[in-house]
Amino acid sequence: MATLADEIARVLKTRGVTRIFGIPGGGSSLDLIDSADKAGIPFTLTRTEAAASVMAAVSGELSGAPGAMLVGVGPGASSATNGVAYASLERSPMVLFADGPASTMHQYFDQQALFAPITRGTARLLPENGATVLDGLLKTATTSPEGPVMVELTAGDAATEAGTFAASDDTAPPSPADADIAAALTMIAASERPFVIVGLEARRQAKTVNAFIQRLGAASMTTYKASGVVPADAPGFIGPITGAAGEMPILKQADLIIGVGFDPIEFIPGKWPEGYPPFLQIGEGSPKNPRVPFDSELTGPLAEVLPALGRGTPAAGWTEDKLAELRAVKDAIYAPARTGFTTAAAVDVLVDNLDHGTRVCVDAGAHMFATIGRWPAMRPFGILKSNGLSSMGYALPAAIASALADPATPVMAVSGDGGIAMCIGELATARELDLNITVVVMNDCALSLIDIKQQRQQRPSLGVRYPAQDFAAIARAYGWQAARADNPAELKAALALKGPRLIDVRIDPAGYGDDMARLRG
Ligand SMILES: Cc1ncc(C[n+]2csc(CCOP(=O)(O)OP(=O)(O)O)c2C)c(N)n1
Ligand SMILES: [Mg+2]
């Protein structure tokens, strides 16, 4: 007899799921773990559901197949919201299995209602058609705009014989209208200085996107999540873009801005300046977002649309001098105003001593500016960053997911002290899985991104600073190699450690206020 749990495992296998993360509850979680294991899908126990949810989301993002996680009823489910919210805003295909509901009393709340705003769909899986419903939801999760789905399953139903299964068809996304292509061609033909903003949808289409940029002779910048889609040393590449005031003088030099797979969810809040060049958006269909006004939109698969666009000769407006001017604006944003042991100085040691093919997972905080601004990403997914939800506690779980999904690519997590403390128990997970990860903590004894905002508002220093935590000692207790670095030479020496390794870098945060002012005004 095939139970519903067996059928679910079969559907997961068929849809390309390779691992389930999570913390089991005592209900259907146990059936799922068994059935998945029999189907060749291992279960990975994490220390928090929030970290498991980031791991599932990042696994989905890297592979294109759904990431998967399971949790117990009630608190297990509510603890999993962070990575699911990330997956929803940042296009990660994943599925969350929650136990229950077993009753309407102890630990009960409406789990589907909790997840409805941050998923593409929810359901309770029942024996008669649960596998079919799940298959349909997984199709939704992996169809652009990709995202998370959530299902509930009781232990009783999981162990019951399953009804017949009907697979859902995968439908191809619609092609763009000829008139839209013609309009885009006209805009491109008239442009002397086209500027491409490369966004997250472009991560699986790097070849096509780079060919398009070269055919146009365009200058380009990448959003945080698209870092590496255009290699750092490509002609016309300027650097990362966040939508901040300091970057706007760069865009002003263009006469046409082209978003390629760009989703404005990645831009920081702000008002689009008046009188800026027209914006042509080419993508697979972004959720509505008023942040950036698109003057013209061309919607369809990038692999199909971009090759149809180009011009006979590259645009003549971007001379080497002009491009050097744009790069100078970017360089000025990310050059540290201070000479001490800043995050920028620490990142330079990493840039000088590590392979640039290393995948860098960056947390949310003041340390992210110099880290992303100075790291030369060379390949798609070269930087993993939560940049729609912009969540802390992300970098280490993301690095774990990367090391599992793509062991050949070296991986480093760069986190603030606040962010690493939110997921510190995952050092144990990484150790148990024997993953060779580098963790760099930019330790400044503060929630600096909030601290600098508090200082700018001339408020008293309350609620943002705390005594130093010795992260090297904590890491050693988890069986990691670890060192503390108070200056560039100590950081360089610490990089001789074999992994998994954590370096507690005691940086000087005093320049962060200036860093943010140069970027965001
Ligand atoms: C889960 C979560 N909680 C709160 C925030 C708001 N937030 C953004 S950055 C930040 C401070 C980060 O501190 P730390 O990790 O030490 O990095 P630093 O800014 O000091 O470099 C906070 C509280 C967030 N983005 N995510
Ligand atoms: Mg900090």
DSSP 8-state code for residue 502: E
pTM above 0.85, yes or no: yes
Choice from 442, 449, 507, 508 to test ligand 1 binding pocket (greatest atom count within 8 A of CB): 449
Do 250 and 221 meet the contact criterion of CB atoms below 8 Å apart? yes
**Given pLDDT bands bounded at 50, 70 and 90, which one contains residue 173?**
confident
pLDDT at 170 over 90: no
Q: Is the pLDDT of residue 88 over 90?
A: yes
Give the model's confidence band at 420: pLDDT under 50 very low, under 70 low, under 90 confident, else very high: very high
Report the pLDDT value the prediction gives residue 172, as an integer from 0 to 100. 80
Give 302's pLDDT tier (boundaries 50, 70, 90). Answer: very high
According to DSSP, residue 15 is labeled: T
| CA 213 centroid distance within chain | 23
CA pair distance 518, 521, nearest whole angstrom: 6
Any idea which ligand is nearest the CA of 389?
A: 1
- Percent of the chain that is helix, strand, coil (3-state, to 5): 40, 15, 40
What is the whole-number distance in angstroms between the Cα of residue 377 and the centre of ligand 1?
Answer: 23
pLDDT reported for residue 329 = 97
Provide the percentage of residues in the chain whose pLDDT is more than 90.
Answer: 93
State the pLDDT at residue 273.
94
Q: Is 444 in the pocket of ligand 1 (CB under 6 A)?
A: yes
pLDDT band at 105 (very low <50, low <70, confident <90, very high): confident
pLDDT band at 297 (very low <50, low <70, confident <90, very high): very high
Banded model confidence at residue 288, pLDDT cuts 50, 70, 90: confident
- C-alpha 362 to ligand 2 mean position (Å): 13
3-class state of residue 257 by DSSP = strand
Residue 344 has pLDDT above 80, yes or no: yes
Give me the pLDDT at residue 434, please. 97
| Mean pLDDT score, 316-339 | 92
Residue 505: closest CA among 367, 408, 373 = 367
pLDDT of residue 310: 82
Q: How many angstroms does the Cα of residue 490 sit away from the middle of ligand 2?
A: 20
DSSP state of 432: H
- From the number of C-beta atoms within 10 Å of its C-beta (0-12, 13-18, 19+), residue 140 rates as middle
Average pLDDT (52-74) is 98
Q: In terms of C-beta density within 10 A (0-12 exposed, 13-18 middle, 19 or more buried), how is residue 123 classed?
A: middle
pLDDT of residue 519: 95
Ligand 1 pocket, residue 60 CB under 6 Å: no
pLDDT in tens, 219-262: 999 999 999 999 999 999 999 999 999 999 999 999 999 999 99
Between CA 267 and CA 118 the distance in angstroms is: 19
- Given this model, what pLDDT does residue 276 score? 96
Tell me what pLDDT residue 102 has.
79
Q: Is 67 in the pocket of ligand 1 (CB under 6 A)?
A: no
Q: State pLDDT tens for residues 352-368.
A: 999 999 999 999 999 99
Contact, 15 vs 66, CB < 8 A? yes
